[in-house]
Amino acid sequence: MTRLRRALPAVAAIALLVGVWWTAVAVSGSVIFPSPWRVVTGAAELLVDGVLAQHVGASLFRVGTGFALAVTLAVPLGLWMGWVPGAFATLNPLFQILRPISPIAWIPIAILWFGVGDASPIYLIFISSLFPMVVQTTSGVHAIERRYLRAAENFGVSRATLFRRVVIPAVLPQILVGMRIGLGVAWLVVVAAEMIALRSGLGYLIIDSRNAGNRYDLVIAGMILIGLIGLLLDIGMRWLEARDALRWRYAA
């Protein structure tokens, strides 16, 4: 019951938005912009044909692959940069130069290096997810309270054990924050990449629906589905952040 009460404001806001949308289409008499019901029927059409599942699967595959590769490199690299002053002094300026570059700006380079196919969006997802995770992990190591490290050193704990038993557990919440940011960026990037360089995925679905007979009902359906999947991905990351093993640094 408590969860239902918490969800009521969000449900009411969504219902209000749909009502305004429906009214605006009805009052304007637009024959191009679809009503909510046309969007639902268009999405149902794709669902029955199996096309929608193919596009969703293609997008999730690219995001999952690129994001997993980014996590595999970003977390160890961020820990290293945060733990070793020389590594931070050497690599941090490079990351701070590359980090502000929009992931969309990498699209021509990705196509040049990897051609038109899955490799290009996977690379774009990798490069866009890498930077926020490296920066967040490095900041997490730097934010560890010195008293914890000094206490461990006073007990004669070796540097390797200190890193494994103190540093890594302490930085886990920050790593999860970086992963959450990186995953959100990855989902944005894959849609943009699919609009330009691919023939599958939700981004391609939107562009193809626009070009093939102005099917704006499918355009809006694709946009809504992108938002819903992004919400589910964020909920999954928030669920991980709420685990006791990962939120021990924060108050309940």
Indicate if the pLDDT at residue 155 is higher than 80.
Answer: no
35-75 pLDDT, tens digit each: 888 889 988 988 888 888 998 999 999 999 999 999 999 99
The answer to whether residues 40 and 95 touch, using CB atoms and an 8 Å cutoff, is no
DSSP string, 41-89: HHHHHHHHHTHHHHHHHHHHHHHHHHHHHHHHHHHHHHHHHHH-HHHHH
Instruction: Output the pLDDT for position 197.
Output: 64
Mean pLDDT of 192-216: 81
Instruction: Output the pLDDT for position 249.
Output: 52
Mean pLDDT of 82-104: 89
Quickly count: other Cβ atoms within 10 Å of residue 233's Cβ: 18
Domain boundaries along the sequence of the chain: 39-241
Note the CATH number of domain 39-241. 1.10.3720.10
Mean pLDDT of 86-108: 88
157-180 pLDDT, tens digit each: 777 777 777 788 888 888 888 898
Confidence of residue 247 (pLDDT cuts 50, 70, 90): low
Instruction: Output the pLDDT for position 211.
Output: 81
Return all residues near 46 (Cβ < 8 A) that are at least 6 apart: 52, 55, 205, 218, 221
Indicate if the pLDDT at residue 77 is higher than 90.
Answer: yes
